[in-house]
Amino acid sequence: MTLLLAGDIGGTKTILRLVETSETLGLQTLCEKNFHSGDYPDLVPMVRKFLVKANAATPEKACFAIAGPVVNNTAKLTNLAWFLDTARLSQELSIPSISLINDFAAVGYGIFGLSKQDLLTLQDGKHQPEAPIAIIGAGTGLGQGFLIKQGNHYQVFPSEGGHADFAPRNELEFQLMRYLLDKHDIQRVSVERVVSGLGIVAIYQFLRDRQLAAESPDIAQIVRSWEQEAGKAEKSVDPGAIIGSAALQGRDRLCEQTLQIFIEAYGAEAGNLALKLLPHGGLYIAGGIGPKILPLMQKSSFLLNFTQKGRMRSILEEIPVHIILNQQVGLIGAALCAARL
């Protein structure tokens, strides 16, 4: 038996999970707790409090998934004044082996801890067990990564593909790009500005400002409140979620058009990633948005835009495509990564 500590650390919320691993039973969760990240000056006091409440011995290994880049075993969180270093954490927590990994890399590891119930398959394709695996996930931003098999294990590689250029494919998307260039006074538009939670709001604003559909008073009030809170660390409303919900219910034409453009762009970018990697091991859609708009992802044009790549269409139709339904996939991945230390 080996005692492991897994963590999913975000700017707002941190989840810690104590796990016991054995050759016969695999990973078993002993204790799990959510923390408000901003209530703590550092990760160390949070972990100490968690272990005391769990009445647990000191874990032998730990892995923490970080919402931000990890460089030379150190990480500075994007939206939190924490600087984490594995050597310092190991010394102060008395945990012999500690690893820091990017949160999207954790999703890559977590794929292997998912059950069939944790996935919804959009396209069966033709699975090749030795082929690369791709992951893409729209949430606060747009994460991308890939896995390559090395021996008996997969090596996970995060990327910054979400910051690649947005590639408009029709006149409306060209207008959207020009709108974003002018609105933000920028020289280029990344795909993350369109395919993300903030991207949903940006598309809505574009359609609203171009008067391409009428705006409902209740949605308008929520979006205006959010716009007036620009620059604040915490917002009182989440317009992306409201727009997605209204589109899902079919009660607001402007929101429906917004989600249509979003899903088409999402599918096209997933297809771009698939063209670069040829992930016949599967393309996995992670992030918080996909599961929340699942019916739209299933019945809309996501797959059409995923495969609509000219002469490459037949190749992309053979790529297995899955949506990850389990939102704790990153935490599962951190535990699996800790077990491999």
Q: From the annotation, which residues make up the binding site for ATP?
A: 7-12
What are phi and psi for residue 238, nearest 5 degrees? Answer: -120, 90
Could you tell me if 6 and 50 are in contact, meaning their C-beta atoms sit under 8 angstroms apart? no
Given phi > 0 = left and psi -120 to 50 = alpha, else beta, which region is 116? alpha
Alpha helices in the chain (DSSP H): 43-54, 86-93, 103-110, 171-184, 197-209, 217-228, 239-249, 253-277, 289-292, 294-299, 302-307, 313-316, 329-339
Binding site, annotated residues: 7-12
Q: How many CA atoms lie within 13 A of 213 on its CB side?
A: 17
What are phi and psi for residue 281, nearest 5 degrees? Answer: -80, -10
Tokens 């063209």 sit on residue: 275
Tokens describing residue 52: 């005391």
Q: How many CA atoms lie within 13 A of 247 on its CB side?
A: 27
| Pairing, β 26-36 against β 321-324 | unpaired
